[in-house]
Copies of this chain bind each other. A is one copy, B any other.
Amino acid sequence: MTLLKQLAGIVGPTNVLTDAADLAPYLVEERGLYRGAAQAVVRPGSTEQVAEVVKACAAAGISMVPQGGNTGLCGGGVPSEDGGSVVISTERLNRIRRIDPIDFTLTAEAGCVLVNLQQAAAEVGCLFPLSLGAEGSCRIGGNISTNAGGTNVLRYGNTRDLVLGLEVVLPDGRVWNGLKRLRKDNTGYALQHLFIGAEGTLGIVTAAVLKLFPQPTEIQTALIALTDLDAALVLLARARRASGDAVTGCELIPRIGLELGARHVPGVRDPFEAAHPWYLLLELSSSRPGGLRHALEEMLAEALGEGLAVDAVLADSVEQRRALWRIREAIPEAQKKEGGSIKHDVAVATSLVPEMIRRCTRAVEAAMPGVRVVPFGHLGDGNTHFNLTQPESADKQVFLAQWDRMNRIVHDIVTEMEGSISAEHGIGRLKVAELAHYKPALDLDLMRRLKSAMDPRGLMNPGKILS
């Protein structure tokens, strides 16, 4: 019996896709950066089916590419071009198995779309804090496999910190049941942390127990104008103290980010009369009723009095809050409209972000006169999307041809500053060579030992993370 027939026997013929048109959406990264090929896309409907599919592929020596919502920005879910592998989509594993507002836990299958988990939590008065641009289509298994970050990391942590337990189908088809709802469990090595952030190279996450939190009842949002980047860090530290560590958003926006947004994206407008070099979008939220507004106003009055902040606006309504967030969220979209973008997703220690931005800006401007530096993002996590917009009137392709050269300049500085060349987006296919270049040999050795220990035949998502 051929492998495809075997797979059809496991998941049903309608869930083994082989027609080119059916396969197409599973084989391409959303921006078209990667196009792969595959023998088939298989859509199992249960953990047991995933296990059977993996066993069949392993027996046939066929490599497997796990895929969630296929929203990753590094091509981790896209198969290689050789066409030899089978894509295993988790999209039909979409049940919420349990939700418990006393435990503050949610047990969900890997194919659940993130926004559905947020909503399910809200329905029982809880918050599932993971929040990111792709939340309407990304799936929690992919979030876990890439250790997704987003805008709530400062207060609630990365996806890794939100996972209590995991269920994983191993590369040989055995099912590891680590699906525990425990806050404490010191019985040996922390197996679940192997799989979180491993981008499907060590096994397929099929379900997870996730942490919930009390749903905030008060949210206060301010956009603060600054002349000095270092002041942003002082404001953040003060806001953490003044609010009882209730800072749930802390996003840096440069003047050019606001300008490009106002130029290209409907709904974006500058709320200040004067132009300012930097803006800090600060959001506080808490389930304790009252008090945050006062804490925020007091902190801002003091900062304005000292000249630490130059101006500030506070949102007085949900609409105003959305309008402030729109300024931040519009930046990538606005950059697209302005021509080519060369992107970096870097992190350094929070206190080093200003120095990193200054050094990298000087270096890329020296290397490419006219380049427009648009550094923005999750200041509270030390994570900057250090993005470059092409010089005005430059040719887009000529500019994009500088991608590797610009990456090298930025990543050299970030590495020298003990930072990360991929803060939240992962490695996937995009940064395999970059990782091999920057990771110390010892780290790569340890990673290869883990890969060999868990997937000795190298069948699980080959070519991702490690070449």
Give A contacts to B, CB under 8 Å. 100-105, 125, 146-147, 149, 153-154, 157-158, 160-161, 174, 176-178, 180-191, 193-194, 196-198, 202, 213-215, 233-234, 237, 240-246, 286-291, 295, 347-351, 378, 380-383, 418-427, 431, 435, 438-440, 442-443, 446-447, 449-454, 465-466
Contacts and interface: CB of A to CB of B under 8 A. Distances in A.
Nearest to A242: B288
Contact of A102 (B183, B350, B426): B350
Given A189-B198, A190-B160, A287-B241, A182 B443 contact: no
A335 to B, nearest CB: 21
A172 to B, nearest CB: 10
Given A381-B183, A420-B180, A453-B453, A439 B287 contact: no
A373 to B, nearest CB: 21
A186 B147 contact: yes
B186 A420 contact: yes
A350 B183 contact: yes
A424 to B, nearest CB: 5
Contact of A189 (B102, B197, B347): B197
Nearest to A158: B184
Contacts of A450: 189, 194, 450, 453
27 contacts: A100-B349, A101-B237, A102-B351, A103-B349, A103-B382, A153-B184, A154-B183, A177-B442, A178-B443, A181-B350, A182-B348, A182-B423, A183-B380, A184-B382, A184-B420, A186-B197, A187-B431, A187-B438, A187-B439, A188-B443, A190-B193, A190-B196, A193-B194, A243-B287, A245-B287, A291-B291, A449-B454
B420 A102 contact: no
**A interface secondary structure, majority:** loop
Contact of A182 (B161, B174, B420, B446): B420
A443 B382 contact: no
A400 B234 CA distance: 57
Contact of A187 (B161, B181, B422, B454): B422
A439 B348 CA distance: 39
Given A351-B103, A378-B184, A176 B442 contact: yes
B180 A424 contact: no
Copy number in this complex?
2
Contacts of A102: 233-234, 237, 350-351
Contact of A103 (B180, B184, B350): B350
Given A190-B197, A427-B188, A182 B347 contact: yes
A35 to B, nearest CB: 24
Given A186-B427, A187-B427, A443-B188, A288 B243 contact: yes
Contacts of A233: 102
Contact of A214 (B183, B244, B447): B244
Contacts of A104: 237, 240, 350
Residue of A153, A420, A439 with highest tally of chain B CB at under 10 A = A420
Contacts of A103: 349-351, 382
Given A104-B237, A176-B443, A288-B295, A349 B184 contact: no
B153 A349 contact: no
Contacts of A149: 184, 186
Given A183-B381, A188-B435, A240-B287, 9 more contacts: A104-B240, A153-B184, A161-B161, A181-B350, A182-B349, A184-B378, A184-B420, A189-B465, A244-B246
Contact of A186 (B146, B194, B348, B446): B146
Contacts of A440: 177
Contacts of A466: 188
A184 B383 contact: yes
Nearest to A246: B244
Nearest to A428: B186
A446 B240 contact: no
Nearest to A438: B187
Contacts of A378: 184
Residue of A104, A191, A241 with highest tally of chain B CB at under 10 A = A241
A158 to B, nearest CB: 6
A383 B185 CA distance: 9
Given A102-B233, A102-B237, A194 B187 contact: no
A415 B249 CA distance: 40
